[in-house]
Copies of this chain bind each other. A is one copy, B any other.
Amino acid sequence: MTDSYDVIVIGGGPAGVVTAVTARKYYPEKKILLIKSIGTGVIPCGIPYMFVTLQNPEDNAFGNAPLEKNNIEFLIDEVVAIDRTKKEISTKNDRKFSYDKLVLATGSKAVMPPIPGSEKQGIYLIHKEMSHLKNLKNDIQSAKNIVVLGAGFVGIEFADDISKLKDKKISIIEMKPEVLSGSFDPEFSQLAEEKIKEKGIDLILNTKIESFNGGERVESVTLSNGQTIAADLVIVGAGSVPNSDLAKKAGLEIGEGGGIVVDEYLRTSDMNIFAVGDCAEKRDFFTREKTNVMLASTAAAEARIAGSNLFRIKVIKENKGTIASYSTCVGDLTLGLAGLTETAARRQGFEIIVGNAECLNRHPGTMPGAKKMKLKLIFSRQSGVLLGGQVAGDVSAGEIVNIISMAIQKDFSLTELETLQIATHPKLTAAPTMYPLIVAAQDALKGYKKHEKV
């Protein structure tokens, strides 16, 4: 017998859960099933903090409460095939379910670079499964020499958190010339590098891992600079690719980068099947080019659009494309970006002007706890439209990046930022006379005086 549902969501991460919860809000009468392959999942962004900052790995569990509260049935099983003609799916445990609308929220897979010895014990890719991460936690506790492959967000956040443990030697190996490469302009990456070094982490740039050495278990890594360093544990943060195998098998259109092709409303090439989150292809807000942003916040935004529009297009999408919008921490430094970096904007051929601001995050600057803040905005030179912004500062920078993200989404111009009405407070923000978003916009004006060479 085939159970029948109005909506079936495949995937139990933020993309899947938010789609299901949103669908429940908009379609209270529909029968919704969510199928997930991982029994106890974790909150993806919290993973780097499961080893030191959080007391127990269980503190980062992604529970079923939102599903239960919203009357969404769920099942732990793996979907192995989609029959689009019958509108039916089948699972590893030989169950079949028919759907009216199907949502693929199958996420992404961490990539292991083709390095000899990568099958050895003690080498960890990061996936969102509790038992896997508990093993990693045990291994971290006993490890002496920890190598982190990759200085992207995953690598940096892991290294930052683990560096709080005593008696560990931590090395980050990155093939690019800077950390968080591509995510920030060099002067912001530089700030992260300084913090990493302050923490006693060995940062080795411009360098690849050539081989993992040892017996059954990894003992050392050989680097492209000839050096061999001890490693009883390796954490691999070398990027992820969309997990679109199921969609591919079902004959849905797949993009070059492996993401499932979707329209503005997250519909795949089959109108009854939606794809949301890391498994879905994204296009850049400014250029419509394919982009590989994989963020839980992006997934949640897509999920809200998909969930509300499953049966009728109710919520007209203002998401004209994906804005990279993220933040990270190293020690007490927060870094955030929304939109294009200067590097990316120039590479994409935009004629730009750039404005910078440096200020203190309190006023007067003598307020206890005042720290430096640095902010950079990129504008289209002639149209004056905001293309991107980067911020470095204290914890509040995590929301300042959202101010920038909103400004991009609603096409704020230089003039609008210059004359912005904002709230300031001595204990909370920069001075009204020095508010960095406004000062950076004013600073960009000087770009009009220079002649841009073509």
Q: List residues of chain A with CB under 8 Å of any chain B CB.
A: 14, 17-18, 21-22, 25, 43, 45-46, 48-49, 53-55, 59-61, 66, 295-301, 304-305, 308, 315-319, 322-323, 325-329, 334, 336-338, 363-364, 366-368, 395-403, 405-407, 409-410, 412, 415-416, 418-429, 431-433, 435, 438, 442, 445
Complex CA distance for A329 and B424, rounded to whole angstroms: 11
- Given A301-B421, A305-B419: A366 touches B433 (CB 8 Å cut-off): no
Contact B325 A399 (CB under 8 A): no
Contact B297 A421 (CB under 8 A): yes
Contact A425 B328 (CB under 8 A): yes
Complex CA distance for A363 and B297, rounded to whole angstroms: 12
Contact A422 B445 (CB under 8 A): no
Top 8 A-B pairs, shortest CB-CB distance: A398-B428, A59-B366, A399-B399, A297-B432, A300-B432, A325-B423, A327-B425, A296-B432
Complex CA distance for A403 and B54, rounded to whole angstroms: 29
- Given A300-B432, A396-B395, A400-B399: A423 touches B326 (CB 8 Å cut-off): yes
Complex CA distance for A366 and B60, rounded to whole angstroms: 7
- Given A53-B367, A367-B53: A45 touches B410 (CB 8 Å cut-off): no
Complex CA distance for A424 and B55, rounded to whole angstroms: 21
In the bound complex, residues from chain B placing their C-beta under 8 Å from that of A397 are 428
Contact A59 B364 (CB under 8 A): yes
Complex CA distance for A231 and B216, rounded to whole angstroms: 79
Complex CA distance for A243 and B318, rounded to whole angstroms: 45
Contact B54 A366 (CB under 8 A): yes
In the bound complex, residues from chain B placing their C-beta under 8 Å from that of A66 are 433
- Given A25-B445, A49-B426, A363-B43: A407 touches B406 (CB 8 Å cut-off): yes
Q: A442's closest neighbor in chain B, by CB?
A: B25
How many whole Å from A288's CB to the nearest CB in chain B?
A: 16
Contact B422 A297 (CB under 8 A): yes
How many whole Å from A363's CB to the nearest CB in chain B?
A: 6
How many whole Å from A109's CB to the nearest CB in chain B?
A: 20
Given A17-B433, A399-B402, A406-B422, 10 extra CB contacts under 8 A: A45-B432, A49-B367, A54-B367, A59-B366, A60-B366, A297-B424, A318-B415, A338-B423, A402-B429, A403-B403
Contact B418 A401 (CB under 8 A): no
Contact B420 A409 (CB under 8 A): yes
Q: A300's closest neighbor in chain B, by CB?
A: B432
User: Can you list 5 contacts pairing A with B, beta carbon distance less than 8 Å?
Assistant: A54-B366, A297-B422, A300-B432, A308-B418, A325-B423
Complex CA distance for A304 and B420, rounded to whole angstroms: 9
Name the one of B17, B49, B305, B402 contacting A423, with C-beta atoms under 8 angstroms: B402
Contact A364 B43 (CB under 8 A): yes
Q: A397's closest neighbor in chain B, by CB?
A: B428
Q: A329's closest neighbor in chain B, by CB?
A: B427
Name the one of B300, B367, B423 contacting A398, with C-beta atoms under 8 angstroms: B423
Complex CA distance for A54 and B427, rounded to whole angstroms: 11
In the bound complex, residues from chain B placing their C-beta under 8 Å from that of A295 are 423, 432
Contact B54 A431 (CB under 8 A): no
In the bound complex, residues from chain B placing their C-beta under 8 Å from that of A423 are 295, 297, 325-327, 336-338, 398, 401-402, 405
In the bound complex, residues from chain B placing their C-beta under 8 Å from that of A49 are 367, 426-427
Complex CA distance for A363 and B410, rounded to whole angstroms: 27
Complex CA distance for A347 and B434, rounded to whole angstroms: 35
How many whole Å from A23's CB to the nearest CB in chain B?
A: 12
In the bound complex, residues from chain B placing their C-beta under 8 Å from that of A21 are 433
Complex CA distance for A428 and B319, rounded to whole angstroms: 24
Contact A418 B297 (CB under 8 A): no
Complex CA distance for A241 and B354, rounded to whole angstroms: 40
Most chain B CB within a 10 A radius of its CB, from A14, A45, A296, A334: A45
Contact A14 B406 (CB under 8 A): no
How many whole Å from A225's CB to the nearest CB in chain B?
A: 33
Contact B45 A322 (CB under 8 A): no
Name the one of B329, B364, B418 contacting A46, with C-beta atoms under 8 angstroms: B364
Contact A426 B396 (CB under 8 A): no
Complex CA distance for A324 and B99, rounded to whole angstroms: 50
Contact B425 A315 (CB under 8 A): no
Contact B304 A366 (CB under 8 A): no
Contact B426 A45 (CB under 8 A): yes
